Amino acid sequence: MAGRVATRSLADIAAAAARVFTQRGYREAGISDVAKALGLSHGALYTYVRSKEALLYVALAWTIEPGLLTELPTPVRLSAEEEIVALARRWTDGEGFPKLAAALARRRVPSAREEFGEIVDELYTFIETNRDVLALVAQCARELPEMFEFWFVQRRRSHFDALSGYLGKRIRSGHLRAVPDTPTAARFIAETVAWFAWHRLGDPDSAMLSDEKCRATVRHLVLSAFLPAEENP
């Protein structure tokens, strides 16, 4: 029938919004951009979400776990950035880095190779599993003050601090090699892992590399760089 609006699921809306926000950022992307990507009118999209904040909320919920959308009544109403931050906070609280936390609390180290390898693997798994969420959060957090404070200051930097603390502790005990600066070394590890577990997929000359081989190679090279000579076979 002429003028009839095609039916879309909230998951369709959320998936399209996630793509648009990740590509363009929060400020530049608009509700009309998402509507256009779906072949809907601007007004039709308002039957699903009532604001741009609500659109980002459903996009984030979908990238974290599509099943979260079933808990939302439509149209989704949202008026505060803090609700988006609360959703991101629940996600990060549910993930965590238990291997790193256990290593920081441990006094005796049976095997530095095993302990450090578990920490690198844990970080790689987190980034590889959550790369779509990370891309969306990192892109939009640059332009949203509360999201910036939560993601970059509270979460990302706190992980760097924890990893730096671990390196310093094991360097002092002689289990790892000394480095010029542990905070820089922590970021080197995290950014190396992030590039191979996530960012290489956006590089047309590197996207074809195998996930399995990237993971194994990153683990091998990071451990080789930090473990003393006697720990490297």
List the domains of the chain with CATH numbers: 10-79 (1.10.10.60), 88-231 (1.10.357.10)
Q: pLDDT tens, 38-73?
A: 999 888 999 999 999 999 999 999 999 999 999 899
**Cβ(182)–Cβ(168) below 8 Å:** yes
Buried b (16+ CB within 10 A) or exposed e, 135-149: bbbbbbbeebebbee
Q: What whole-number distance in Å separates Cα of residue 51 and Cα of residue 39? A: 18
- Checking if the pLDDT of 94 tops 90, the result is no
Q: pLDDT tens, 104-156?
A: 999 899 999 999 999 999 999 999 999 999 999 999 999 999 999 999 999 99
Residue reference for tokens 């180290």: 109
pTM of the entire structure?
A: 0.90
First to last CA, the chain: 72
The residues, any chain, with a CB within 8 Å of residue 125's CB and separated by 6 or more, are none
Determine the pLDDT at residue 210.
95
Radius of gyration (C-alpha) of the chain in whole angstroms: 21
